[in-house]
């Protein structure tokens, strides 16, 4: 079989190993919190699987490395060694190191680095011994002879273990010219007295040919405890002891294959492009397709005969078709849906590390880990969440003495909560820390020139300032939050996923950041807006309100038009101008102003009118045409015509640039 055939499993191996590492990490952390012994088994199993697969799939370095960790775990598991903080620490670093190795494997880089080497030594030292010798094994000299006598008496139980003497003797026959003489002395005298599953025969076997003793012994390697065996040479030919044999060529070949697979992986793109689907989901799909086929054949019977008496049946068929289509859609979407647990799981470790570094005591609560969301969304939500969590520990939660002074317990609470709300996923990162400091934010915003003064600004508006580009509330830039990314990046990342971020904060009580995301990127809920002869889809999630304005409500200013909405002046974007539509309504009082929010600011979209709400299946313009500014995709309407989906954040940025120009 070709090595190329194996490459497909190499990727699966990497994916499941990364999951295994997550499991190891969370179990180690739970163990650190006084978890039970079952966790040790879980950890051991994960390490064991990685070790076993690593060598098979061409990562021998990883295998030998994991072997050390596994040996350590084995001692813990068997009670030979008590687990303590230092071992957990060591194993946690091992997890990190392995993650690094997998990353390098995917990038096609050499797996071992100084960290791995150092850690391997530490693990070996923890086991109380030096680095084990490499893959070089000494072999003892092998006897060779031209003829052998093998006395083989299976124990009665050998047959039941699946070891058939027939197979063994046939194998021996492959080595040379064989003659077996059976012995019946143990066979019961009567048929009735014979238990068929027990072996009562024995053999004396002569084997002729230049055969090594080791080759004969190898035939019996599985049964050495299940038989009496004597291997005697008839003519011994002494051979000098052979030099130790190294297994280097095998390892080298594996490395070549592994580099090829890693290259293929790089070409496949950074994010993993496969989804593991449970059999249940697939069975559900097969079921539905079956139903569809039945409905289709039922509808087929109407072909050409639209008899009025059968209208009811036709209607029933169509209703069935609609239901199955909807279910099929939901199920197919469900395949891309994965629990958010895989993202949540990286936080216990991170929270532990950061809080230790900052001398804060933090209890992490995870709620709704089984909430499922689209794989694409899942892969992209991690970074914004990491930022929010870092931020919460760094800026939100106080040190124990400050908390005590404020009358709170030493232990701060950080809560990650995911839930489904309507057609959206809501992920909330909340803490019971100090909350946002209005004065500090205003002062900083003034200093940065974002605002002239805080006067007249609502708390909401002030809180919103932290999402402005270039804003940082930390008095000192720490290495935790201050990596040149601010909350503006969080908001933009979330906006790219079609979502929004909002803050609730009470000074002294804590803050909550709420990320609202669409369940999937493949289907959006939108309002269909008419502009001239065209129709556009405005994502429902961005819509605040739609209002009909009097002409005098809109003022022309340099660079555009503004209108007053709830005490704020919002810029107007006329969709017919933005997209160049002819025959559109231009008079303000005859059209409709749709107030939308995107990229952190609100604007009014001026359209002819709204036609209705609908679900739109997003078709990529980039994939089918090219990227168009202000448009996030296209969809096909019920009548077969194409409507473009408005990219609110993109339009707002476009508007900003025009204004600046």
Partner 1 sequence: MPATADKHSEDATGRGESRSMGKATAQGKGESEARVIALPPDFRLAELAAVKAELLEALEAPAVNIDGAAVERVDTAALQLLVAFRRESTARGQSPAWHGVSTVMRDAASLLGLAQVLELPAPMPA
Partner 2 sequence: MAKILAVDDSASMRGMVAFTLRGAGHDVSEAENGQLALDQARGSRYDLVLADVNMPVMDGLSMVRELRTMPEYKGVPILMLTTESHTDKKMEGKAAGATGWLVKPFDPEQLLATVKRVLG
Nearer to partner 1 by C-beta: 170 or 266?
170
27 binds partner 2 (CB under 8 A): no
Query: Cβ closer to partner 2: 85 or 162?
Result: 162
Neighbouring C-alpha atoms within 13 Å toward the C-beta of 316:
7
Whichever of 226 and 428 has its CB closer to partner 2, that residue is 226
**CB-wise, 167 or 658, nearer to partner 2?**
167
CB-CB contact of 539 with 498 (8 Å): yes
- The smaller minimum CB distance to partner 1, of residues 179 and 276, is found at 179
Report d(CA 514, CA 264) in Å as an integer. Answer: 38
- For residue 398, the Cα-to-chain-centroid distance in whole angstroms is 32
- Give the CA distances from residue 642 to residues 531, 583, 610, 646, in Å, rounded to whole numbers and listed in that order: 14, 18, 16, 13
Cα–Cα dist 416/520, whole Å: 20
When binding is defined by CB under 8 A, the residue of 30, 32, 35, 56 that contacts partner 2 is: 56
197 or 274, CB closer to partner 1?
197
CB of 228 to partner 1, least distance (A): 16
Query: Of 164-172, 265-273, 482-490, 514-522, which segment contacts partner 2 by CB under 8 A?
Result: 164-172
How many helices, marked H, and strands, marked E, lie in the chain? 20, 23
Q: Which of 10, 391, 505, 635 binds partner 2 (CB under 8 A)?
A: 10
Strand-pair partners of 202: 183
Interface with partner 2, residue 137, by CB under 8 A? no
By CB under 8 A, name the one of 85, 128, 162, 449 that touches partner 2: 162
User: Which residue's CB is nearer to partner 2, number 163 or number 345?
Assistant: 163
Question: Token digits for 636?
Answer: 């096909």
In whole angstroms, what is the distance from residue 533 CA to residue 53 CA? 60
Least gap, CB of 155 to partner 1 (angstroms):
13
Query: Residue 165 or 499: which CB sits closer to partner 1?
Result: 165
Question: Which of 244, 567 has the CB closer to partner 2?
Answer: 244
User: Per-residue contact track with partner 2, 323 to 352, x per CB under 8 A?
Assistant: ------------------------------
Q: Which residue has the tokens 């809109």?
A: 554
Within 13 Å, how many C-alpha atoms sit on residue 553's CB side?
20
Q: Which does 51 bind (CB under 5 to 8 A by kind): partner 1, partner 2, none?
A: partner 2
Contact range with partner 2 by CB under 8 A, out of 4-12, 300-308, 441-449, 529-537: 4-12
The three state secondary structure string of 542-610 is HEEEEECCCHHHEEEECCEEEEEECCEEEEEEEHHHHHCCCCCCCCHHHCEEEEEEECCEEEEEEECEE
**Considering beta carbons, is residue 160 or 237 the nearer one to partner 2?**
160
Q: How far is the CB of 264 from partner 2 (least distance, A)?
A: 15
Q: In the window 200-259, what residues touch partner 2 (CB under 8 A)?
A: 221-222, 225-226
Residue 64 engages partner 2 in binding (rule: CB under 8 A): no
Compute the C-alpha angle 178/180/182, nearest 5°: 175
Sheet (strand 362-367) strand order: 362-367, 412-421, 424-431, 510-518, 500-506
Q: Which stretch binds partner 2 (CB under 8 A): 163-171, 297-305, 342-350, 544-552?
A: 163-171
Do 350 and 416 meet the contact criterion of CB atoms below 8 Å apart?
no
Rule CB under 8 A: which residues touch partner 1? 159-160, 164-166, 169-170, 173, 178-182, 184, 187-192, 194, 196-197, 199-201, 203
Instruction: Check residue 614 for interaction with partner 2 (CB under 8 A).
Output: no
Relative to beta strand 362-367, strand 412-421 is parallel
Q: Which does 179 bind (CB under 5 to 8 A by kind): partner 2, partner 1, none?
A: partner 1
203 binds, among partner 1, partner 2, none (CB under 5 to 8 A by kind): partner 1
Instruction: Candidates 103, 121, 138, 170: give the one binding partner 2 (CB under 8 A).
Output: 170
List the structure tokens of 44.
């051991």
Phi, psi dihedral angles at 532 (to 5 degrees)? 60, -135
Report yes or no: 636 and 642 within 8 Å, Cβ to Cβ. yes
Instruction: Give the contacts of 363 (CB within 8 A, at least 6 positions apart).
Output: 411, 412, 413, 414
Partner that binds at residue 265, options partner 2, partner 1, none, CB closer than 5 to 8 Å by kind? none
Partner that binds at residue 184, options partner 1, partner 2, none, CB closer than 5 to 8 Å by kind:
partner 1
Residues that bind partner 2 (CB under 8 A): 1, 5-6, 8-10, 12-13, 16, 42, 44-45, 48-49, 51-57, 60, 63, 159-164, 166-167, 170-171, 197, 221-222, 225-226, 276
């Amino acid at each position: 079989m070709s090595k190329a055939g194996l490459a497909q499993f190499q990727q699966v191996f990497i994916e499941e190993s990364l999951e295994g590492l997550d499991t190891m990490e969370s179990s180690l952390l739970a163990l650190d919190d006084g978890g039970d012994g079952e966790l040790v088994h879980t950890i051991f199993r994960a390490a064991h699987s990685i070790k076993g697969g690593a060598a098979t799939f061409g990562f021998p370095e990883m295998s030998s490395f994991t072997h050390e960790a596994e040996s350590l775990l084995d001692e813990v598991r068997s009670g030979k060694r008590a687990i303590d903080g230092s071992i957990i620490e060591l194993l946690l670093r091992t997890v990190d190191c392995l993650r690094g190795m997998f990353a390098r494997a995917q990038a096609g880089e050499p797996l071992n680095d100084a960290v791995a080497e150092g850690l391997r030594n530490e693990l070996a030292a923890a086991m109380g011994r030096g680095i084990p010798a490499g893959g070089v094994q000494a072999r003892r000299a092998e006897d060779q002879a031209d003829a052998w006598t093998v006395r083989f008496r299976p124990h009665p139980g050998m047959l039941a273990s699946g070891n058939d003497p027939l197979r063994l003797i046939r194998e021996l026959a492959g080595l040379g010219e064989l003659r077996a003489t059976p012995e019946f002395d143990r066979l019961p005298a009567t048929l009735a007295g014979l238990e068929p599953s027990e072996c009562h025969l024995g053999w004396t076997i002569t084997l002729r040919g230049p055969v090594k003793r080791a080759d004969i012994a190898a035939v019996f390697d599985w049964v050495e405890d299940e038989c009496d065996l004597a291997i005697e040479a008839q003519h011994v030919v002494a051979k000098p002891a052979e030099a130790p044999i190294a297994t280097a060529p095998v390892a080298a070949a594996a490395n070549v294959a592994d580099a090829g697979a890693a290259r293929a992986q790089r070409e496949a793109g950074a994010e993993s492009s496969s989804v593991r689907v449970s059999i249940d989901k697939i069975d559900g799909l097969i079921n539905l397709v079956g139903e569809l086929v039945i409905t289709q054949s039922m509808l087929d019977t109407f072909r050409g005969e639209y008899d009025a008496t059968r209208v009811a049946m036709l209607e029933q068929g169509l209703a069935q078709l609609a239901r199955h289509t909807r279910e099929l859609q939901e199920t197919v979407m469900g395949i891309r849906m994965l629990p958010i647990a895989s993202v949540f799981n990286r936080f216990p470790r991170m929270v532990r590390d950061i809080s230790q570094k900052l001398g804060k005591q933090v209890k992490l609560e995870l709620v709704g880990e089984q909430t499922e969301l689209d794989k694409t969304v899942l892969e992209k939500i991690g970074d914004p969440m990491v930022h929010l969590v870092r931020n919460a520990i760094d800026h939100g939660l106080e040190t124990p003495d400050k908390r005590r002074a404020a009358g709170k317990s030493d232990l701060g609470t950080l809560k990650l909560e995911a839930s489904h709300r309507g057609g959206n996923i809501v992920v909330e990162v909340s803490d019971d820390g100090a909350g946002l400091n209005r004065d500090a934010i205003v002062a900083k915003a003034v200093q940065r020139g974002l605002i002239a003064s805080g006067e007249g600004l609502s708390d909401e508006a002030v809180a919103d300032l932290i999402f402005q580009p270039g804003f940082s509330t930390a008095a000192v830039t720490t290495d935790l939050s201050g990596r040149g990314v601010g909350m503006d990046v969080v908001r933009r990342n979330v906006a790219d996923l079609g979502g929004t971020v909002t803050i609730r904060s009470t000074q002294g009580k804590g803050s909550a950041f709420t990320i609202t995301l669409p369940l999937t990127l493949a289907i959006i809920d939108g309002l269909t807006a008419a502009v001239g002869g065209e129709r556009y889809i405005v994502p429902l999630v961005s819509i605040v309100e739609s209002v009909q304005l009097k002409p005098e409500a809109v003022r022309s200013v340099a660079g555009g038009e503004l209108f007053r909405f709830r005490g704020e002046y919002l810029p107007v974007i006329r969709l017919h101008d933005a997209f160049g539509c002819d025959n559109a309504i231009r008079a303000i009082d005859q059209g409709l102003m749709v107030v939308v929010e995107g990229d952190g600011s609100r604007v009014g979209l001026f359209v002819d009118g709204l036609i209705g709400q609908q679900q739109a299946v997003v078709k990529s313009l980039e994939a089918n045409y090219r990227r168009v500014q202000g448009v996030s995709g296209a969809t096909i309407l019920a009548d077969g015509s194409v409507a473009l989906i408005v990219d609110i954040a993109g339009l707002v940025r476009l508007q900003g640039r025009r204004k600046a120009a």
